[in-house]
Amino acid sequence: MGNPLRTAQDRRLPRIPEPCALVIFGVTGDLSRKKLIPAVYDLANRGLLPPGFVVLGFARRDWGDGDFESLAYEAAKKGARTPWREDVWQRLSSQFQFVPGSFDDDAAFDHLAATLDELRERNGIAGNAAFYFSIPPAAFPLVLNQLNRTGMADNAKSGGWRRVVVEKPFGNDLKTAMALNQLVDEVFTPEDVFRIDHYLGKETVQNILALRFANSLFEPVWNSKYVDSVQITMAEDVGIGTRAAFYDSAGAARDVLQNHLLQLLALVGMEEPTSFDPNEIRAEKLKVLKAISLPADIAAGSVRGQYLQGWVAGERAVGYQEEKGVPQGSTTETYVAVRLGIQNRRWAGVPFYVRVGKRMPRRVTEIAILFKRAPHLPFDPADVEMLGNNQLVIRVQPDEGVVLKFGSKVPGTTMEVRDIAMDFQYGEAFTESSPEAYERLVLDVLVGDRTLFPDAAEVEQSWRVVDPLEEAWTGTQPEPYRAGEWGPRASDEMLAREGRAWRRA
């Protein structure tokens, strides 16, 4: 757990974990190859991994350690964000081991347990190990039961700490999430469970807390007296790729709204924590999630969409139902927009418009705070019509930064006012390169810092928001939109009925 009493100088020092092992289940999958292995290399390259650090890969392949090292080499070299150094790789890869087996293979898990026992003495890891579930959610209970059966999840038996990292989606609804929470908390202690949401590892997401609570400039106007509305947008220009089997059973709401976007909303809406202690931050986020209100009329206050064939970035894109693996007649949504509220003193009456979609014109994730217009504008009516709402826009990706939009005089001999933008970009303001989200989060797991990891209560409360939407949408058809458009027309109409419009992202 992060220590709120660390001095400012301590916080600037590199955090080096204790000697430990990282066990990756599903190590040959996309997540491991594209994110986890490159993150491990980058941590090693920055000097942030301890002596004796070991990576144990577990997958259903008839491989040896050499085969695993070759796969890891290609993955790390392709995905690394830091400069490639062969000497760093050689030291790191000498500590890679592979354990073949399926999740129902008792002998394979017995072998894994024995390997960890051997490493306790040989590598001096003192029984410390983190288990990363880079596997389909349906396999979580099976692997958890194997770790319980072999005693690998037991801190006392291992002689060190044992932690588990679980990828989203955490359950398919509130019922399954509660059952999974109960199981994982029975196998591991709750303090050793890390439910990962990679969006919380992004520098610009963490900067929401710095922007709000390190400055006196924004917090006085961060409330319903000055804020007209908040828009949270996550647009992707890609389709579903090879994820048809998962995506068609989940849809945009379960895949993204329940986790990424509600976490962003919680960070925007939360009160200032008493300290940067993980428990304090999670407590404030949970208050916001509990205060979320759904539209009184879900049909009027939400929109589901599904993309048809069209053009994105000058290239022809097939419709969702033409994607490989998607059944004909599927009613799974690839776009969701919903009007939410937060029922507390700070935010009462302020609509939070949240939208997510695939095959949009471009890739962008941003949070836009739209302020109320000035109560009186003593300018020419023609100028007043040209002015929009003041806006504070936090760009999460890809052009990470913050934009402040406000009215200003146009140079000249007359009082002519127009909207302008002040633009802060991370890449220009800082010489340090931002670590990739998984790099930060893997390091947090190894040092035991749970600040950026939602707990069970947050997950369950998020499902209490999404489940009523899913229930109301049952049996309905998604609204069509062309690939390359900003979603269905009904989404624009939803805001227009309230005299607003989506910000051009």
Per the DSSP assignment, residues forming a β-bridge with 352 are 230, 340
CA distance 32 to 20: 18
User: For residue 137, is the peptide bond before it cis, meaning its omega torsion is within 30 degrees of 0?
Assistant: no
CA distance 248 to 51: 44
User: Could you tell me if 469 and 302 are in contact, meaning their C-beta atoms sit under 8 angstroms apart?
Assistant: yes
Residue tagged active-site, from 111, 198, 260, 376: 260
User: Could you tell me if 435 and 452 are in contact, meaning their C-beta atoms sit under 8 angstroms apart?
Assistant: no
User: Could you tell me if 289 and 262 are in contact, meaning their C-beta atoms sit under 8 angstroms apart?
Assistant: yes
Instruction: Write the single-letter amino acid at 377.
Output: L
The number of helix segments (H) and strand segments (E) in the chain equals: 19, 18
User: Could you tell me if 10 and 115 are in contact, meaning their C-beta atoms sit under 8 angstroms apart?
Assistant: no
Residue 240: how many other CB atoms lie within 10 Å: 22
Per the DSSP assignment, residues forming a β-bridge with 131 are 23, 164
CA distance 48 to 50: 7
Tell me which residue has tokens 């999958």: 29
Distances 426 to 203, 331, 401, 433 between C-alpha atoms, Å? 9, 40, 5, 9
In degrees, to the nearest 5, what angle opens at C-alpha 243 toward C-alphas 240 and 247?
80
Residue 298 exposure: Cα atoms within 13 Å on the Cβ side: 15
Structure tokens at 432: 């340090």
Q: For this structure, is 260 an active site residue? A: yes
- Report, as residue numbers or ranges, the catalytic residues: 260
